[in-house]
Amino acid sequence: MSKFIVTITPPTPNGDLHIGHLAGPFLSADIFTRTQRQKGHDCVLVSYSDDYQSYMLRRGREQGREPAQIGEENTRKINLSLKMAGIEVDHWMRSLDNTCFRDAVLELYHQGVNDRNIYQKTVLAPFCRACNVWGYEAFGRGQCSSCGQDSDASQCEECACAPNYLYMKNFRCKLCGGEHEWVEKDHAYLNIGKNVHKLRAWLGDSAVRLNSRAFVERELAPTPEDWQITRHGDAGLDIGQPHLGKVHTWFMGMAGYIAATREHFTVNQQTPELFDSFWRSDDTTLVGFLGYDCLYSHGIAYPILLAGSPYAKKKQRLYTNMFLKLNGLNLSTSRNHAIWIRDLVSDYDTDSVRLYMALLAPEEQESDFVETQFVEWHQTFYQNTLETLTVAATQESPHFWLDGMQRNEHKLLCEVYNRWSAVTSADSFSSRNLAALAVELYEMAYERLQAEQPLYYLVALASCICAPITPTLSRQIQKRCSINEALVLDNLMNANFLDYSI
Q: What is the pLDDT along the chain (502 residues), one digit of tens a residue?
A: 899 999 999 999 999 999 999 999 999 999 999 999 999 999 999 999 999 999 999 999 999 999 999 999 999 999 999 999 999 999 999 999 999 999 999 999 999 999 999 999 999 999 999 999 999 999 999 999 999 999 998 889 889 899 999 999 999 999 999 999 999 999 999 999 999 999 999 999 888 998 899 999 999 988 899 999 999 999 999 999 999 999 999 999 999 999 999 999 999 899 999 999 999 988 899 999 999 999 999 999 999 999 989 999 888 999 999 999 999 998 877 778 999 999 999 999 999 999 999 999 999 999 999 999 999 999 999 999 999 999 999 999 788 888 878 777 778 888 999 999 999 999 999 999 999 999 999 999 999 999 999 999 999 999 999 999 999 999 999 999 999 999 999 998 887 766 654 4
Residue 135 shares a structural domain with residue 61: no
- From the list 17, 71, 89, 28, the residue with the least C-alpha distance to 344 is 17
Domain count, the chain: 3
Domain membership flag for residue 376: yes
Say if CB 85 and CB 26 are below 8 A apart: yes
Domain membership flag for residue 182: yes
Residue 453 shares a structural domain with residue 477: yes
Residue type, 166: L
- From the list 384, 383, 387, the residue with the least C-alpha distance to 480 is 387
Strands annotated E in 42-195:
42-49, 91-94, 118-128, 133-134, 140-143, 150-152, 169-173, 181-190
Say if CB 192 and CB 147 are below 8 A apart: no
Q: pLDDT at position 39, please? A: 95
My answer on whether omega of the bond before 222 falls inside 30° of 0, hence cis, is yes
Say if CB 298 and CB 203 are below 8 A apart: no
Q: pLDDT at position 500, please? A: 56
What secondary structure letter does DSSP report for 180? Answer: P
Domain membership flag for residue 490: yes
Residue 121 shares a structural domain with residue 235: yes
Would the pTM of this model clear 0.85, i.e. be above it? Answer: yes
Domain membership flag for residue 345: no
Domain membership flag for residue 170: yes
Residue 30 shares a structural domain with residue 14: yes
Domain membership flag for residue 21: yes
Sign (positive/negative) of CA torsion 281, 285, 289, 290?
positive
Q: pLDDT at position 207, please? A: 87
Residue 375 shares a structural domain with residue 490: yes
Residue 23 shares a structural domain with residue 77: yes
Say if CB 84 and CB 350 are below 8 A apart: yes
Residue type, 312: A
Domain membership flag for residue 383: yes
Q: pLDDT at position 397, please? A: 78
Domain membership flag for residue 382: yes
* End position of a domain, from candidates 326, 341, 362: 326
Residue 161 shares a structural domain with residue 121: yes
Q: What's the domain range around 320?
A: 3-105+250-326
